[in-house]
């Protein structure tokens, strides 16, 4: 799937596609930390940080 995305979806030469992949990974990570993980924390009430 990733090779198909890299070859078919992303435009430009290889060096530009690598930069685009890194930028897309950054955006996905940023979106998860800003909206995804806080929503999951509120929904599942994951406040304890000890293992027992």
Looking at the predicted structure, is the pLDDT value of residue 48 above 90? no
- Whether residue 21 contacts residue 10, with contact meaning beta carbons closer than 8 Å, is answered with yes
pLDDT, position 51: 61
Does residue 44 surpass a pLDDT of 60? yes
Task: Report if pTM > 0.95.
Answer: no
Q: Is the pLDDT of residue 47 over 80?
A: no
- The single-letter DSSP state of residue 46 is -
Question: How far apart (Å, rounded) are the C-alpha atoms in residues 13 and 31?
Answer: 27
- What kind and span of H or E run contains 37? helix 37-44
């Amino acid at each position: 799937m990733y090779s198909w995305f890299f070859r078919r979806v992303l435009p430009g030469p290889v060096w530009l596609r690598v930069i685009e992949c890194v930028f897309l990974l950054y955006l996905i990570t940023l979106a998860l930390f800003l909206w995804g993980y806080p929503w999951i924390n509120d929904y599942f009430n994951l406040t304890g940080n000890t293992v027992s």
